[in-house]
Chains A and B, each alone.
Chain A
Amino acid sequence: MSAGDVAVRVKGVSHQFGEASEAQYVRALADTSLDILRGELLCLIGPSGCGKSTLLNVIGGLLAPSGGTVEVAGKPVRGPMPRDIAFVFQENALFPWSTVMENIRLGMLFQGVPRAEHEPRAKQCLEAVGLSDFAHHYPGQLSGGMRQRAALARALALQTGILLMDEPFGALDEQTRMILGEDLSVLLARTEKTIVFVTHSLGEAVFLADRVAVFSARPGTIKKIIRVDEPHPRNPAFVTSEKFTTLRNELYALLHDEIRKAVAESGRAGNAGGSP
C-alpha cells in the first residue's frame, strides 16, 4: 500500500431523509470528510442509525447525498459505478430463483463482462470463497454463512478496485462470523482491493481493519479514526494478543458514550424513522 494514494475522497458529505417540516425528517449524516486509501480496509463503526450505512450507499452511488461530494479515482460519483465498485449487502441479496453459479454470472452480465469469461471467473471466485461444491445449489439450500460467501464471490467476480460491505456478517452467529472474518482477511491479503466495511462488532472491526472510523451518534460524523498496525492475512492468534485487546478497549470507550446518546435520542424521538 503506497500511502497517500487516495481511492475514495469523501468531501463534506451530509444527508437527511425527508424535509425539515415532516415527521419523518431524520438527519442521518452531518458534514463528513474522509480519505480512503488505495488497498486499505477501512471499517465504519458506530451506534445504530449513525449513518454509516448511509455513507456507504453514498460512496457507492446508490444514494445522492443532500450535501457534499464523493470522488472515486478523481471522478465525482453520480450513480452506481459497476466497473469500479462492488457491493456485498447484509443478507439475502442473492437472486433466490438462480443458483449460486447463475447469480455470479448475472452480476458479470449486468456489469458487461464478455460471456466467454463468465464461467472461468465464476469458478475461480467460488474456489476462492470455498464454495466450489455448491455452484449449482440455490441460495435457499445454503446456510447463512454460505450465502454470504456466495455474495462475496459474486462481488469478487466483478473485479472492481473497490468493495463496499454493509454488515455482511451481521445476521450470522458469532462462530460463523469469526471463521468468515479470518477467511476474508486471507482472501483480501491476496488482492489489492480497497474495502469499506460497515460493522457493529468491535472485535470484527479490530480484526479486519487497517483503520477503524468511529462514528458519533445521529446525526453521525466521524469522531475518531484508529489505526490497526498489523499485516494481512491476520493470524487467528491476533485476537488473543494484548494489542488486539488494547485496541478493542479503546474502541469500546469511544463508542460507549455515543451508544448511550443514541439510545437516549431514539427514546426521545419515540423511535421515529431510524435509517436502515
Chain B
Amino acid sequence: MERRRQRTQQIASRAVQIGFLLALFALWYLATNRWGVNHLLLPNPIAVWHQLMDVLSTGEYLPDLRVTLTEVAAAFAIAVTSGTLVGYVVSRSRYLIRVFEPLFAGIYSIPIILFLPLYVLFFGLGPTSKIALGTTISFFPIVLSTIAGFSNVDRVLVTAARSMGASDYQMFRFVLLPAALPVILSGLRMGFTVALLSIIGSETIASLAGLGHHIVQLAEGMDMARMFAYIAFVVVIAALLNGVVSTLEARGRLR
C-alpha cells in the first residue's frame, strides 16, 4: 500500500516537472510566433531545433568539444592528484589542519574566476590558462573534503586496528581510506562540477577555442538560432558528464 502511494506520488511529481518544461517551450513558441518577440533576442524554437540537427549531423562541434573536454580532464586530473595528496598530508597533523583548513576554506569562498585576467596574462589565451584556472577552482573542494574525510575517522576504529597490530600501510588501506572515501568522493564530484563550470565560463570570456568560445562567436555574429542550438548541446553534454560522475560516486560509496 505504502509503496504504491509513493509510486503514485512519484509519477505525479514527474508529470508536473514535464508539464512545466512543456509549458516553458509553449511560451517560447508563442512568444516568437504569435506575440512578435524580436528573433534577434529570442529565436524561434523550431529554427533552433533545425540548427541543432545541423550541428549534430555535420559534426562541426567536434574540434571545440575536444578542446573543452581535454581542458576539463587535465584540470580535474591535476586537481584530484594534488588535492588528495595535500589533503592527506595536512590531515595527519592537528597543527597543519589548524593552519591550512581555514586558509583553504577562506580561499574557496572567494570567486576565483575573478583572477581569470591574471591567468590569461600568465598562461596566454590558449587551453593552458583554462586548465590552470579549472585546476585552481576544483582543487579547493577536493582538498577540503580530503582533510575532512581523513581527520574525522572514528578514533575507536583506529585504536582497534592498532591493538590488532595493523601496519601503517594496513591502517591506511583498510581503515583510513574506507572511512574517508564517502566524504572524499563528494568532494571529487563538486570539484568536477566547478572545473566544468569555470572552464566553459572562462572560454566565453577570453579564449581561442572550445565550446564556450564558439557560443560567444555565434553571439557576436548575431546567429542566434545556432547559438541557442550550441547552448542546448553544451547543457546536454554537461548533464551527461555530471551524471557519469554522480554514478561513479554512488558506486564508490557502495563499496
- Contact B163 A87, beta carbon cutoff 8 Å: yes
Q: Is A245 an interface residue (CB 8 A)?
A: no
Q: Is B170 an interface residue (CB 8 A)?
A: yes
- Asked if A111 CB lies within 8 Å of chain B CBs, one says yes
State which of A90-98, A186-194, A206-214, A230-238 sits at the interface with chain B: A90-98
Chain A interfacial residues counted at CB < 8 A:
23
Q: Is A158 interfacial (CB-CB < 8 Å)?
A: yes
A82 interface residue (CB < 8 Å to B): yes
The residue of chain A having its C-beta at the shortest distance from the C-beta of B177 within the complex is A97
* Alpha-carbon gap, A93 to B178, bound state (A): 14
Report the interface size for chain B: residues with CB under 8 A from the other chain.
18
Chain B's closest residue to A60 (CB) is: B163
Contacts A62-B159, A89-B156, A89-B159 hold; do A95 and B174 have CB atoms under 8 A apart? yes
B178 to A80, Cβ gap below 8 A?
A: no
Q: Contact between B174 and A107 (Cβ–Cβ < 8 Å)?
A: no
| Chain A: CB-nearest residue to B170 | A110
Closest chain-A Cβ to B250's Cβ sits at a distance in Å of 15
Given the interface pairs A97-B178, A97-B179, A106-B174, the reply to whether A111 lies near B164 with Cβ below 8 Å is: yes
Partner of A95, one of B163, B167, B178: B178
Kindly list chain A residues whose C-beta atoms are within 8 Å of the C-beta of B30.
none
Of B162, B170, B175, B179, the residue contacting A80 (CB under 8 A) is B162
Residues of B within 8 A of A92 (CB): 154, 156
**In the bound complex, CA of A272 to CA of B88 (Å):** 33
B165 at the interface (CB under 8 A from A): yes
Decide: A109 and B170 in contact? CB cutoff 8 A: yes
> A60: which B residues are within 8 A, CB to CB?
163
Cβ–Cβ < 8 Å partners of A80 in chain B = 162-165
CA distance A97 to B179 in the complex (A): 8
Partner of A110, one of B157, B161, B178: B161
Q: How far is the CA of A89 from the CA of B164 in the complex (A)?
A: 12
A93 near B160: Cβ-Cβ < 8 Å: yes
- Does A30 reach chain B (CB closer than 8 Å)? no
* Count: A-B pairs, CB below 8 Å: 55
Please state if A158 and B164 are interface contacts (CB–CB under 8 Å): yes
| Partner among A62, A90, A109 whose Cβ is within 8 Å of the Cβ of B163 | A62
CB distance from A164 to the nearest CB of B (A): 8
A217 CB–B CB distance under 8 Å: no
Which A residues are in CB contact (< 8 Å) with B179?
97
Closest to A90 in B: B156
Decide yes or no whether B166 CB sits under 8 A from chain A: yes
Mark A116-159 against chain B: 1 for CB-CB distance below 8 A, else 0: 00000000000000000000000000000000000000000010
User: Cβ of A93: which chain B residues have Cβ within 8 Å of it?
Assistant: 156-157, 159-160
Query: Does the CB pair B164–A110 fall under 8 Å?
Result: yes
A98 to B178, CA, bound (A): 9
The answer on a CB contact under 8 Å between A82 and B159 is no
0/1 per residue, A43-80, Cβ < 8 Å to B?
00000000000000000111000000000000000001
State the Cβ distance, B143 to closest chain A Cβ, in Å. Answer: 23
A62-B170 Cα distance, complex, nearest whole Å: 18
| A205 beta carbon closer than 8 Å to chain B | no
Q: Name which residue of chain B comes closest to A87, CB basis.
A: B163
Report yes or no: B160 in contact with A87, Cβ–Cβ below 8 A: yes
A86 within 8 A of B: yes
* Complex interface bits, B165-195 against A, C-beta within 8 A gives 1, otherwise 0: 1110010001100110000000000000000
Interface centre among A61, A106, A158 (most CB of B within 10 A): A106
- CB-defined contacts of A158 to chain B, threshold 8 Å: 164
Interface CB pairs A-B, < 8 A, 5 = A83-B165, A87-B159, A97-B255, A106-B164, A112-B165
Further contacts, 6 of them, CB under 8 A, given A85-B163, A106-B164: A80-B162, A82-B165, A86-B163, A109-B170, A110-B161, A110-B170
